[in-house]
Structure 1
Amino acid sequence: MSKILIACDDSPGSLRGLAYLISKIQAGREKAELHIVNVQYPLHGGVSSFISAAQIKELHQEDGAKALAGARKLLDEAGIPYQAHVFVGEPAEVMARYANEQGFDEIVMGTRGQNKISTMLLGSVSLKLLNLAKVPVLLVK
């Protein structure tokens, strides 16, 4: 059984990546332990002067839960078990470190729709993740 990390931010691209993986699982081509992951960027600019660390943590968890809502719905409707995680940091670095440390076999990430110019370059998170991860990264368009 593969251990797969799925990057989720509730964008159409991330949900396409998850839908692709769900279709493989439902077709019997994949047996997997799924972990859906959302990484929240840290708050900057002196925010901690106005709200407590506990409030910041709660805000990140709430925003992360909202970002995972669409993925949870798809997986629940498909009857596929999963674990959900919300982290704070630079997304590519956090996901690569988590995947490397926790022994994941693969990372799945949807890509966003891009115009002709930007399709020549991958998004910055995708590109960083490809460079930092020690496991295969599947980008789904």
Structure 2
Amino acid sequence: MKILVPIDGSKSSKKSVVLAREIGEKFEAELMILTVIPETTVFEQYPTNFPYTLEMDKANVDRAEYVLSDVERELIKYPYEIQTYYTSGNPAHQIVKFAEDHNADLIIMGNRGLGAFSRTFLGSVSNKVINQSKVSVLVVKDGAKEE
């Protein structure tokens, strides 16, 4: 069994790692930990912003590596295989694509707890993944009070 765990360093994504560990241990599952680097297209539109784009890209990669290393430390005693990955682009699209490309059996991800108003107009990453994925999705709420 393969479980994809998309993370962003938020409280709910940390909770999703804990739950993925529990489920993974019961099913002897491989955990695939993924973080998605946001696109920096706003800066890329203007040639004078090129140095800033490079700095943003480096900062985003550094952040992704930090988030992944934090989870690796959390899962140090996990008895089965763990793979960590980062990619860039639209988070929901990249998560769905990654799950399909890597034959994930389950996606366990956090929900940042956006209020109903924000969720209706913006759509959350977890909501988009639920609606676009061919793989079952388990969403872990962080327990934060909705606005």
> Would you say same fold, with TM above 0.5?
yes
Structure 1 stretch 44-53 or stretch 55-64: which is displaced more? 44-53
Pairing of 1:126-141 with structure 2 (within 5 A): 126-141=126-141
Give the gaps of 5 or more residues in structure 2: 142-147
3-state SS of 1:129 partner: helix
Q: Distance in 2 between matches of 1:65 and 1:120?
A: 28
Give the gaps of 5 or more residues in structure 1: none
* Aligned-partner residue type, residue 59 of structure 1: A
Alignment pair present for 1:39 and 2:36: yes
Aligned to 1:100: 100
- State the Cα distance separating 1:78 from its structure 2 match: 4.0
Aligned to 1:23: 22
- State the Cα distance separating 1:119 from its structure 2 match: 9.9
- State the Cα distance separating 1:57 from its structure 2 match: 4.6
Number of equivalenced pairs = 137
Q: Distance in 1 between matches of 2:101 and 2:6?
A: 16
Q: Distance in 2 between matches of 1:53 and 1:59?
A: 10
- State the Cα distance separating 1:61 from its structure 2 match: 2.0
CA contact (8 A) 1:105 1:135 kept: yes
With structure 1 as the length reference, what TM-score do the two structures score?
Answer: 0.80
1:64-123 per-residue CA deviation (whole Å, 9 max, x = no partner) reads 1122233222111445531111110010000101111221111110222456x5698696
CA contact (8 A) 1:60 1:88 kept: no
* Aligned-partner residue type, residue 28 of structure 2: K
Aligned to 1:74: 74
CA contact (8 A) 2:4 2:34 kept: yes
- Percent identical among aligned pairs is 28
Cα RMSD after superposing both structures: 2.8
Closer, same or farther in 2 for the Cα pair 1:39/1:123, shift >3 Å?
same
* Aligned-partner residue type, residue 133 of structure 2: A
With structure 2 as the length reference, what TM-score do the two structures score?
Answer: 0.77
CA contact (8 A) 1:10 1:67 kept: yes
